[in-house]
A and B are shown apart, each in its own frame.
Chain A
């Protein structure tokens, strides 16, 4: 019998994984680590957000997204198959 938590772990994990892979920059901007107070002063011109992180950051987020999908896949494999 598959539990609700396992289903949620797989479903939400896949959702987060795809979101991180597809929109890494936007997901990073939603993080508290790159919040409004930091973004006002980094890289951007007055009145804009600019680019508060280096070119490596979206790739790091994509790797995290891929890891999410792999863990969700592993849980799905062990629980459902």
Chain B
């Protein structure tokens, strides 16, 4: 967490220092930077949580129907030292689960499809992984990361814009630089996201005593995904379809999750 915080704070500091240098060394620049940052990240967090639950049509998980899940989440939350998050269920069309919110006010959404295909132990592994995200404040970290990427891009854009002659070349350069800077910072944010996945896996493994159930769950989902792709290839019989596990370096760099096989390997090691 210290490394992640340092990387994000370094980007933030560079952006604020650059704004301070280029727009005048006044306290109002610092005030705008700090208040603006808090407002931007706060709004992204609040809107993000609301939009996440709304976009999948998440509903409260019935305590009678899903009593086992409620009991397991309560026990795992106690073990991890966090308040039991709200549990919601959604029909997403695919086996999926995700956590939103912060420690003390988190929500875990599980898709009905995931509950159907996993056995109890495998589901425990997935739930422990999502609870680890809440315990480690990963959701908030990612929102802050995205916020910092936006801020650094905005600062870079304005520096180019306000130090130029306001002609078309300067205006265009500002947009291009803003985007390139944002892409660069996002590469780090995504690397942090992949690293936090490994940490959540390790925490889930510690919480339930073994990494095998989560590894099995990942395998099951991944195999189902591959079968789906194979059947689609059969249906389409198209030589132009490129499926498979071989991912390019760029694809790996822009992924939020590490490769499934590496996670499974680490969980079982």
Chain A residues near B (Cβ < 8 Å): 3, 5-6, 8-9, 12-13, 15-16, 23, 26-27, 29-32, 35-50, 68, 71-72, 74-75, 79
Contacts and interface: CB of A to CB of B under 8 A. Distances in A.
Contacts of B169: 3, 5-6, 9, 75, 79
Nearest to B149: A32
Contact of B95 (A13, A32, A39, A45): A45
Contacts of A68: 176
Contacts of A26: 250-251, 254
Contacts of A79: 169
User: Which interface residue of A13, A16, A43, A46 has the most chain B CB atoms within 10 A?
Assistant: A46
B146 A13 contact: no
Given A32-B182, A45-B225, A46-B94, 6 more contacts: A16-B176, A36-B193, A37-B142, A40-B256, A45-B94, A75-B169
Interface string B147-191: 001100100000000001000111011001101101100110110
A75 B164 CA distance: 15
A71 B172 contact: yes
A65 B74 CA distance: 49
Contacts of B55: 41-42
A9 B260 contact: no
Contact of A31 (B143, B182, B221): B182
Nearest to B256: A36
Contact of A48 (B126, B146, B217, B257): B257
